[in-house]
Amino acid sequence: MARGDAAQTKVHYKGKAEDFIVFVDSSEAVQEWKKDSSVPLAQVVSGFKILVTDNHGTQGILNTASKGTLENEFGTSNEDEVIKQILQKGDVQTTQNSERQGDTNDSKGSMLAH
């Protein structure tokens, strides 16, 4: 069975000094939340982590955003408030991870050295 073949959805927000990313469950969940903000964030966001890409757009190494970075960009370091702003103003992007094939048990059969 193939592994890693799953869709990954994120919201990208281009700030003044940094690019911010929040991973979400699906683009549909974000659209529902935008229509009805009484939906709990836990049903929309995959993890309550705000990531920065060091001005590399939606790609590159993702680092956790510091409180100072959040303060400078959003005027608050409250992560719930920042996530709400990113969901409202950001672009939803869905990518498909490539599947990975691999040997499952090298200790059986012809893979075993004699």
CB 21, CB 12: distance < 8 Å: yes
pLDDT for 50: 92
50 compared with 99, residue with greater pLDDT: 50
Asked if residues 22 and 87 have their Cβ atoms less than 8 Å apart, the reply is yes
Place of tokens 């995959």: 46
Domain count, the chain: 1
Is the pLDDT at 12 greater than 50? The verdict is: yes
What is the pLDDT averaged over residues 23-50? 89
Range of the structural domain that residue 89 is part of: 8-95
For 60-93, the pLDDT digits (tens) are 788 899 999 999 999 999 999 999 999 999 999 8
Closest alpha carbon to 14 in 73, 97, 75: 73
Q: Is 70 inside any structural domain? A: yes
Q: Is residue 87 part of a domain?
A: yes
Model pLDDT, residue 95:
78
Give the number of C-alpha atoms closer than 13 A to the C-alpha of residue 77, restricted to the C-beta side: 8
Report the distance separating Cα 18 and Cα 56, nearest Å: 9
Confidence of residue 1 (pLDDT cuts 50, 70, 90): very low
Residue 71, in any domain of the structure: yes
Residue 33 has pLDDT above 60, yes or no: yes
Note the residue count of the chain.
Answer: 114
**112 domain-assigned:** no
Q: In this structure, are residues 18 and 54 in contact, taking their beta carbons and an 8 Å threshold?
A: yes
Collapsed DSSP state (helix, strand, coil) of residue 26: coil
**pTM for the predicted model, two decimal places:** 0.75
| Within a domain: 34 | yes
Residue position matching structure tokens 């103003």: 89
